[in-house]
Chains A and B, each alone.
Chain A
């Protein structure tokens, strides 16, 4: 390709029309409370893995609903399943259990 000195980056816009929620719907079936997340960030701020790895459960839950499944799964690799996030979630979500379910559904392609 000719070098014009610049290149076109793909749009960073999230197009909700194109997000495939098939897996998220399956996740919701076994983890109905995932809908209750209000993005408060308590889980992320208390997460011992977050400080050095960028793990944020808040972002994982959001990314899964915005079609960024790969990013979410990559982030989750840093989770140590310590369960601290479960203790602080004000919406009473069993986050540790949720993380395991997310793994079960989203990481299955990687097995």
Chain B
């Protein structure tokens, strides 16, 4: 089985697909721009809804995909379209000829400092979901532990469902991430008042609603329906949050020791760059466009090009892994058809 298979992106999608292809007898090539595998999941601490350690998930995938040809710190310099294949030139000088490309370039986290009214990068005590995961992992962030932690707030939909930020889509994972992180804060600081400011709570997945009920019943987390409009800082360095409590139809304000912004998932610029090199279309939501959003989400509209994971839109870990397995099978069937 000499067929070259190039997987662009060594996140969980790329690794899962590689491991399946290895089991099917192929020798896939993973191209990863950063210095490690795992993508975003390598930065998370515990995964909803069962608090599975993210490190275990990544470690397991790294082991299972170890047989692949893996290029770290490597990007794609350019791609030449040949008659029925592609010539991919890597930044390390190596070139690969392949008929099959699997794009698993994932997403980018919305840059929360673009929402200036929330004060990320301006006020010390405003952090993001990613910063909080980093603190759970390392304990290394003075903004979190050192501030009394009497009152903590979570802002949903930061950079999602926001046409002004040019992302009208729902990022899907941040409601449940907010519930998860709020519970974790409450476990570490039982005396803290914890507020979630939401527009809708989108608890779509298996056991998510149970997680939400538990956040209310067992942890007393306060859910306030209203989008935060404005954040300011007081003289003690605490943050004051203003919103409308739309359930009572009144403005509401509260002083917090820490505010966590639920930055959303947006299409990764490097995905779009790769898409441009292979002339792949981009969908109206900014993510890569599939052949069909119902029946062919893991296929690009071009022969021999496949997708898996968050490069086509916000996905959870189980959804990403399922797509990666499906994509590996599609690649296998495609190769059989070519013979």
Does residue B225 face the partner (Cβ distance < 8 Å to A)?
Answer: yes
Task: Report how far A65 CA is from B216 CA in the complex, Å.
Answer: 13
User: What's the tally of chain A residues with a CB closer than 8 Å to chain B?
Assistant: 22
Give the number of A-B contacts (CB < 8 Å).
Answer: 48
Of the candidates B195, B216, B222, B253, the one whose C-beta lies within 8 Å of that of A13 is B253
Task: Name the segment of B101-109, B138-146, B243-251 touching the other chain.
Answer: B243-251
Task: With A33-B217, A35-B216, A35-B220 as known contacts, state yes or no: A16 contacts B253, CB within 8 Å.
Answer: yes
Task: With A14-B245, A14-B248, A66-B248 as known contacts, state yes or no: A36 contacts B213, CB within 8 Å.
Answer: yes
Does residue A69 face the partner (Cβ distance < 8 Å to B)?
Answer: no
For B113, the chain A residues whose CB sits under 8 A away are: none
Task: Report how far A91 CA is from B217 CA in the complex, Å.
Answer: 11
Of the candidates B195, B222, B250, the one whose C-beta lies within 8 Å of that of A12 is B250
Residue among A35, A58, A66, A91 with max Cβ neighbours from chain B (10 Å): A35
Question: Distance (Å) between the CB of A61 and the closest chain B CB?
Answer: 10
Task: With A33-B217, A35-B217, A91-B213 as known contacts, state yes or no: A14 contacts B222, CB within 8 Å.
Answer: no
Does residue B255 face the partner (Cβ distance < 8 Å to A)?
Answer: yes
Does residue A54 face the partner (Cβ distance < 8 Å to B)?
Answer: no
For A33, the chain B residues whose CB sits under 8 A away are: 217
Instruction: Give the contacts of A1-17 with B (CB-CB under 8 A).
Output: 12-17
A16 touches B213 (CB 8 A): no
User: What's the tally of chain B residues with a CB closer than 8 Å to chain A?
Assistant: 17
Task: Report how far A25 CA is from B225 CA in the complex, Å.
Answer: 21
Task: With A33-B217, A36-B217, A39-B225 as known contacts, state yes or no: A13 contacts B248, CB within 8 Å.
Answer: no
Task: With A14-B253, A15-B254 as known contacts, state yes or no: A59 contacts B216, CB within 8 Å.
Answer: no
A12 touches B245 (CB 8 A): no
For A28, the chain B residues whose CB sits under 8 A away are: 220
Which residue in chain A gives the minimum CB-CB distance to B220?
A: A35
Task: Report how far A58 CA is from B245 CA in the complex, Å.
Answer: 14
For B254, the chain A residues whose CB sits under 8 A away are: 15-17
Does residue B252 face the partner (Cβ distance < 8 Å to A)?
Answer: yes
For A12, the chain B residues whose CB sits under 8 A away are: 250-251
Q: Which 4 pairs from chain A and chain B are nearest by CB? A: A16-B254, A13-B251, A14-B252, A35-B216
**B: which residues have CB within 8 A of A?**
195, 213, 216-217, 220, 222-223, 225, 245, 247-248, 250-255
**Additional pairs, 16, CB under 8 Å, beyond known A32-B217, A58-B247, A59-B248:** A12-B250, A12-B251, A14-B251, A15-B253, A15-B254, A16-B253, A28-B220, A35-B216, A35-B217, A35-B220, A36-B216, A37-B216, A38-B223, A62-B248, A66-B250, A66-B252
Could you name 20 residue pairs across A and B whose Cβ atoms are closer than 8 Å? A13-B250, A13-B251, A14-B248, A14-B252, A14-B253, A16-B252, A16-B253, A16-B254, A17-B255, A32-B217, A35-B217, A35-B220, A36-B213, A36-B217, A37-B216, A39-B247, A58-B247, A62-B247, A66-B250, A91-B213
